[in-house]
C-alpha cells in the first residue's frame, strides 16, 4: 500500500547512453483535480485493445499532510474515462472506493483484457493503529491490516461488478508451506491480464518484508484461486527490497525480486521466475546483472507477440542509467544490459516498462537534477540485437517547468506508468509543477520517437 511507498532509488550511467531530444508532446492532461490539501500520483492507464480510443485512468489520492486515520477521501482510487484517445476525460464512480468496513482505497490499479473487459483494483486498509514493530510513517510506527479487491466492467466503466477479494490480511486461500510469510499481504498490488487467454493475475506484497504473493482468475475476476508465495526457502526474498510487479503472455506468468541467497549465486541477486500453473510451481533463474544497483528493485514486461519474451529493468550502480535486460526463453538466458537515459547523466527514479500489442517495448522514468527539480522521460525499442534491446533517443514527456519533488511526501506516488497501443505511447506520472503532486497523462505518437 502507499504507506510503504517505494523509496526513490539512486542509480547511474554508461557509455552507450543516447543523446536526447525534447520535442513538444502532442497531448497533456491533468487527471486529478485536487486542491492543495490532497496529493495524487502513480496513475495507471488501461487501453481497450478493441478500441484504443477508450482509456481508463486510476490513481491514488492522499491527504496533505498525511494524517493517520484521517477522514476518507472520496474517489481515493481514480478513476476517469476517455473515449477520444485521451483528449477529454470524465470522472466516474468505481465501487472499490465504497467497500463496507474498509478505510478507503489506495494504490489504484487499471488493466484491460483482450475482450475489452476493464479491471480496477487497489488495496484497502481495514485497521490502522500504532504499535512497535509496524512500518515507519512520518516518524510513527503504524500497524495496518487490509485487503486487495478487484472489480470489472464490460461497458468501460458505466457499470461495475461487485468487488472481489484477491488477497489480504484475513489469510484466506493462502497455500501453506510454499515459502513466504503471509501476514499482511495486500501491499502494492498489481494486475496483469494474459491477452491470449483472458486469465487475470494479481500480485500483492507483505507490508513489513515486501515479499510477493500471486493468485489468478480464469473467470474474468468473478473468483480467484489459491494464493502462492513468490519466493521459497531456497530463493528467499531479500526483505530490504521491494518485490516486483507481474507480467504474463501466452500462458506464462512472470515476476522478479531480489533474493538474499540462491544456489550458486552471490547475493543479494536478482531472481526472474515464471509459472505456467498460476504460481503453484515456478522455474527460477538468476539474472546476470552487470554493474547494477546494490539492492535492485525490478520492473518487468511480457511481450504479447512472442511466448517466453520478457524484459526487465533496474537502475545501475550510480543511479544515473536505466538498465534493460531481455530474454527470449523465459529467463534461461539474457541479453543486455542496454543503458537508457538522456545526457548529461542525472539521478533517475520511478520507472516503468511495458510491451505494446505489436511488440514495441516502452520505458519511462523521471530524472532529478542538482536543484532537486525533475522531468519525465521516455524511450521505445522496436528491435533487439544479440546485445539486447535497441532504444530510441529519449524524449522529454513533461512540459511544465521542472519543479522540486515535495519535501515530506510520504505516500501515493510509487512509480511512473507507460503503455502503448498500435499508434501511441500513453504515459502517467505524478507531477509537482502545480505545487502539489497531481496525476498527469500524456499521449505521444510512436512516430515521434526516432529509430530504436
Domains and CATH numbers, the chain: 2-448 (2.120.10.10)
Q: Which pLDDT score, from 0 to 100, does residue 179 have?
A: 65
Q: Which residues contact 212 (CB under 8 A, 6 or more apart)?
A: 180, 203, 204, 205, 229, 230, 231, 237, 243, 244, 255, 257
pLDDT in tens, 29-39: 999 977 778 88
Q: How confident is the model at residue 7 (pLDDT cuts 50, 70, 90)?
A: very low
Distances (CA, A) of 310 to 23, 59, 304, 326: 29, 26, 9, 6
Tell me which of 116-120, 133-137, 221-225 is least confident: 133-137
Distances (CA, A) of 52 to 55, 82, 424, 427: 7, 10, 9, 14
pLDDT score of 313 more than 60: yes
Distance, in Å, from the CA atom of 74 to the CA atom of 286, rounded to the nearest integer, reads 43
For 385, phi then psi, to 5°, come to -125, -175
Distances (CA, A) of 382 to 172, 183, 208, 300, 385: 43, 42, 39, 17, 11
CA separation for the pair 6, 135 (Å, rounded): 13
Residues 59/382, Cβ–Cβ less than 8 Å:
no
Among 173, 171, 180, 178, smallest CA distance to 210 is for 180
**Which is nearest to 189 in space by CA: 110, 275, 136?**
110
What's the CA gap between 426 and 442, in Å, rounded? Answer: 6
More confident residue, 14 or 381: 381
Mean pLDDT of 125-146: 83
Helix (H) or strand (E) holding 133: strand 118-137
The predicted model gives 187-208 an average pLDDT of: 96
Q: Please name which of 341, 403, 405 lies closest in space to residue 377, comparing C-alpha atoms.
A: 341
> Which position has the higher pLDDT, 392 or 435?
392
What is the average per-residue pLDDT within 341-365?
96
pTM to 2 decimals? 0.93
Q: pLDDT-derived band of residue 412, with 50, 70 and 90 as boundaries?
A: confident
| Helical ranges in 148-193 per DSSP H | none
Q: Between residues 3 and 207, which one has the greater pLDDT?
A: 207
Alpha carbon distance 40, 73 (integer Å)? 11
**What counts of helices (H) and strands (E) characterise the chain?**
0, 30
What does pLDDT average to over the chain? 89
So what's the pLDDT on residue 6? 28
Q: What is the pLDDT of residue 135?
A: 80
Percent of the chain with pLDDT over 70: 92
**Residues across the chain:** 452
Report pLDDT for 4.
34
Which of the four pLDDT bands, split at 50, 70 and 90, describes residue 106? Answer: confident
Low-confidence winner among 166-175, 179-188, 224-233 (lowest mean pLDDT): 179-188
pLDDT at 8 exceeding the cut of 60: no
Question: Does residue 18 register a pLDDT over 70?
Answer: no
- Express each pLDDT in 213-257 by its tens digit: 999 999 999 999 999 999 999 999 999 999 999 999 999 999 999
* 127 band by pLDDT with thresholds 50, 70 and 90: confident
Least confident of 63-67, 161-165, 176-180, 354-358: 176-180
Q: How far apart are CA 145 and CA 74, in angstroms?
A: 21
Question: What HEC string does 299-313 produce?
Answer: EEEECCCCCCCEEEE
Is the pLDDT at 104 greater than 80? The verdict is no
Q: Under 8 Å CB-to-CB from 71, ≥6 apart: which residues?
A: none
Amino acid at each position: 500500500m502507499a504507506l510503504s511507498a517505494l523509496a526513490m532509488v539512486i542509480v547511474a550511467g554508461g557509455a552507450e547512453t543516447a543523446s536526447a531530444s525534447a520535442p513538444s508532446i502532442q497531448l497533456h492532461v491533468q487527471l486529478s483535480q485536487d486542491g492543495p490539501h490532497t496529493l495524487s500520483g502513480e496513475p495507471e492507464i488501461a487501453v481497450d485493445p478493441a478500441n484504443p480510443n477508450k482509456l481508463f485512468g486510476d490513481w491514488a489520492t492522499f491527504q496533505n499532510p498525511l494524517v493517520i486515520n484521517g477522514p476518507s477521501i472520496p474517489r481515493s482510487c481514480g478513476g476517469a474515462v476517455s473515449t477520444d484517445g485521451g483528449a477529454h476525460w470524465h470522472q466516474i464512480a468505481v465501487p472499490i472506493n465504497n467497500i463496507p468496513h474498509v478505510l478507503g482505497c489506495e494504490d489504484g490499479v487499471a488493466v484491460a483484457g483482450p475482450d475489452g473487459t476493464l479491471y480496477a483494483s487497489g488495496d484497502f486498509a481495514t485497521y490502522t493503529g500504532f504499535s512497535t514493530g509496524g512500518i515507519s510513517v512520518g516518524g510513527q510506527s503504524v500497524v495496518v491490516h487490509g485487503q486487495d479487491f478487484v472489480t470489472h466492467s464490460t461497458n468501460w466503466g458505466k457499470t461495475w461488478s461487485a468487488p472481489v477479494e484477491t488477497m489480504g490480511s484475513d489469510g484466506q486461500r493462502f497455500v501453506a508451506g510454499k515459502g513466504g510469510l503471509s501476514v499482511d499481504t495486500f501491499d502494492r498490488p498489481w494486475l496483469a491480464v494474459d491477452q491470449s487467454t483472458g486469465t487475470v493475475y494479481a500480485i500483492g506484497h507483505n507490508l513489513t518484508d515486501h515479499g510477493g504473493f500471486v493468485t489468478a482468475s480464469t473467470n474474468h475476476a468473478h473468483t480467484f484461486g489459491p494464493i502462492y508465495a513468490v519466493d521459497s526457502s531456497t530463493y528467499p526474498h531479500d526483505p530490504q527490497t521491494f518485490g516486483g510487479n507481474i507480467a504474463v503472455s501466452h500462458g506464462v506468468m512472470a515476476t522478479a525480486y531480489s533474493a538474499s541467497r540462491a544456489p550458486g549465486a552471490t547475493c543479494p541477486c536478482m531472481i526472474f521466475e515464471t509459472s505456467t500453473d498460476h504460481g503453484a510451481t515456478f522455474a527460477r533463474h538468476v539474472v546476470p546483472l552487470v554493474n547494477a544497483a546494490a539492492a535492485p528493485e525490478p520492473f518487468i514486461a511480457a511481450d504479447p507477440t512472442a511466448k517466453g519474451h520478457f524484459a526487465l529493468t533496474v537502475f545501475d550502480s550510480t543511479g544515473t542509467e536505466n538498465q534493460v535486460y531481455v530474454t527470449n526463453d523465459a529467463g534461461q538466458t539474457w541479453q543486455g544490459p542496454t543503458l537508457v537515459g538522456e545526457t548529461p547523466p542525472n539521478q533517475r527514479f520511478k520507472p516503468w516498462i511495458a510491451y505494446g500489442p505489436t511488440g514495441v517495448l516502452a520505458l519511462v522514468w523521471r530524472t532529478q537534477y542538482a536543484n532537486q527539480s525533475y522531468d519525465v522521460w521516455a524511450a521505445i525499442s522496436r528491435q533487439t540485437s544479440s546485445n539486447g534491446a535497441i532504444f530510441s533517443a529519449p524524449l522529454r514527456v513533461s512540459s511544465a517547468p521542472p519543479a522540486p519533488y515535495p519535501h515530506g511526501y510520504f505516500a501515493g506516488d510509487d512509480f511512473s506508468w507507460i503503455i502503448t497501443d498500435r499508434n501511441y505511447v500513453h504515459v502517467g506520472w505524478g507531477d509537482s509543477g502545480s505545487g502539489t503532486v497531481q496525476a498527469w497523462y500524456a499521449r505521444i505518437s510512436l512516430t515521434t520517437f526516432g529509430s530504436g
